[in-house]
Amino acid sequence: MTADTGTPLNDIVEATATAVAADPTQALVVFRAAGTPEGAVGSTIRLGGHTVRVDEPPALGGADTAPNPVEVYLAALIACQVVTYRFWAQQLGIAVDDLAVDAEGDLDVRGFFGLDDSVRPGFRSIRVTVRVSGPESAQRYEELQRAVDAHCPVLDLTTGRTPVQTTLVTS
C-alpha cells in the first residue's frame, strides 16, 4: 500500500465529486441482492453478476456447506474496513505497509429461536481488531482509524439506524 495522493482511488473521488457537484442525484447508488432457499436452511444469493451461498452449521439445522449469515456480515464488515482503510490512507497521505482485520461477534441464539423474546436476535457485541504497520506515528494511524470509523458504510449499518421496509408478497 502507498500514501501517494495520485492514486486511482483519489482519482475516483475527484471524478465523483465533480459529477455530484454538477448533479447531486449522482451521489445515490442502489445496490441489489436476491436470494432463494437451498438445502435445509441455506440460501443462494445473487449480487449483480456474483453468487454467494450461505448455510448454517449442523447445530442450527444446516450442513455447514458455506458461511452462515452472521459470518457473511462479519466478512462484509472486514472487507469494508479493509477498503475504507486503504481509501482513507490515500486520502490522508498516510503510508500503510501492512493491514489485517479480524472480527468476532457474540450472538445469543435464544433470540433467534424465540426462546426468550427479551434477548436480541442479532449480535450482542462485535469486536474488530485492526493491525496496521508502516512508517507513520501511532497518532497518524489513530487519525486514520477515526476517519475509517466515521466513513465505513458497513460499520455504519451496525452502529447507526437504517430504516428497513419489508414487503410481503403472497400468491
pLDDT digits (tens, 9 = 90+) for 65-89: 999 999 999 999 999 999 999 999 9
Question: Letter for the amino acid at 168?
Answer: L
Q: What is the pLDDT of residue 6?
A: 58
SS3 54: strand
Mean pLDDT score of the chain: 93
Q: Quick check: 111 pLDDT over 70?
A: yes
Q: What is the pLDDT of residue 80?
A: 98
E-only strand ranges, 108-143? 123-133
Q: Are 92 and 144 in contact (CB under 8 A)?
A: yes
Tell which residue, 123, 117, 121, 108, has the closest CA to residue 72.
123
Determine the Cα–Cα distance for residues 153 and 79; give it in Å rounded to an integer.
11
Q: Quick check: 12 pLDDT over 90?
A: no
Q: Are 108 and 99 in contact (CB under 8 A)?
A: no
SS3 148: helix
Q: What is the pLDDT of residue 3?
A: 55
Q: What is the pLDDT of residue 95?
A: 96
Q: Quick check: 22 pLDDT over 70?
A: yes
List CB contacts of 170: < 8 A, sequence separation 6 or more. none
Q: What is the pLDDT of residue 11?
A: 85
Residue positions counted in the chain: 171
The 10s digit of each residue's pLDDT in 112-135 is 999 999 999 999 999 999 999 999
